[in-house]
Amino acid sequence: MNRYQGTAERFRTEFRLVYRRLLRAFGPQGWWPAESRIEVVIGAVLTQNTSWSNVERAIASLRERRLLDLARLDRIPERKLAPLIRSSGFYRLKTRRLKSVVGWLHEQGGFAALSSIPTTGLRTRLLECHGVGPETADSILLYALDRPVFVVDAYTRRILYRYGLATGGEGYAELKTLAESALPRRTAVLNECHALLVRLAKVHCRSAPCCTGCPLA
DNA sequence: GCCCAGGTGTTTC
DNA sequence: GAAACACATGGG
């Protein structure tokens, strides 16, 4: 059902339409839900296959201990970090993953020091960190480093599938390339687009191809 | 109780 | 290489 048979050009046309409709229906989202770049990085790792509400608890406990800080996070031992992020699930794994990317960031000299590195090179370096895959890398690039990349996540896939813009068999790179080719290569646009897709997915389209009140109906 | 959630790395065929 | 599996908590 809903197999997408169209050309890339058709995808671009329809995807732009989806973006315009969502923007009109919901307005700008002003994402990501975080107060600092390091908080974005933490959220991006902790939300892997995990609901955001569970991540929020973990971030709150890090905030209480003044650990939303690159240097402090780099310094804290894993055995002390692990219990603080327990609520985000897979917490032993995520402790290692977080330490890995935080270690790299700190070693580089922090976020500002990355500004001279081109986006493709930066993405490669992020992917070299243990536990940073394509989605986590792109989330960090877009929401923490202001780079113009499109983030493909479970919400994006679900929406694209529901509206016949994907079959479900596409790989990460394929959807990312298609989406990026459909939109202006600007951080603000790609940020909004992904945020709007998440907003839609959280409210609508959880089980049926379309629901009443859906902005895309 | 059972299913699901903003993935990724490892193991197995 | 694709498919299957491990990783873990909290909410519906």
Q: How far is the CA of A176 from the C1' of B11 (A)?
A: 28
Q: How far is the CA of A17 from the C1' of B8 (A)?
A: 32
Taking residues A37-53, report their average pLDDT: 98
Closest CA to A184 of A32, A16, A6, A10: A16
Q: How far is the CA of A13 from the C1' of B2 (A)?
A: 41
Percentage, residues of chain A above pLDDT 70? 94
Name the closest nucleotide to A92, judged by C1' and CA.
C7
A134 in Cβ contact with A152 (< 8 Å): yes
Question: What's the distance, Cα to Cα, between the start and end of chain A in Å?
Answer: 17
CA distance A40 to A32: 7
Q: Could you say which of 2.60.40.420, 1.10.10.10, 1.10.3720.10, 1.10.340.30 is the CATH number of the domain covering A37-144?
A: 1.10.340.30
∠ CA A148-A152-A155 to the nearest 5 degrees?
130
CA distance A146 to A136: 14
Q: How far is the CA of A131 from the C1' of C4 (A)?
A: 19
Q: Which tokens sit at A194?
A: 């992904």
Residue of least CA–C1' distance to C7: A90
CA distance A33 to A40: 8
Instruction: Please count the other Cβ atoms lying within 10 Å of the Cβ belonging to residue A213.
Output: 9
Task: From residue A60, give the alpha-carbon distance in Å to each of A26, A29, A148.
Answer: 27, 22, 29
Confidence of residue A204 (pLDDT cuts 50, 70, 90): confident
The residue extents of the domains of chain A are: 37-144
Residue of least CA–C1' distance to C10: A54
Q: How far is the CA of A138 from the C1' of B1 (A)?
A: 37
Q: How many residues does chain A have?
A: 217
pLDDT tens sequence across A105-135: 999 999 999 999 999 999 999 999 999 999 9
- Is the pLDDT at A1 greater than 50, yes or no? no
Residue of least CA–C1' distance to C6: A90
Q: Which tokens sit at A73?
A: 């996070």
Name the closest nucleotide to A158, judged by C1' and CA.
B6
In the prediction, which pLDDT does A47 show? 98
Name the closest nucleotide to A57, judged by C1' and CA.
C10
CA distance A92 to A74: 16
Confidence of residue A215 (pLDDT cuts 50, 70, 90): confident
Least confident window among A47-51, A168-172, A210-214: A210-214
Name the closest nucleotide to A53, judged by C1' and CA.
C10
In the prediction, which pLDDT does A202 show? 87
User: pTM for the full model?
Assistant: 0.94
Confidence of residue A5 (pLDDT cuts 50, 70, 90): low
pLDDT tens sequence across A6-15: 789 999 999 9
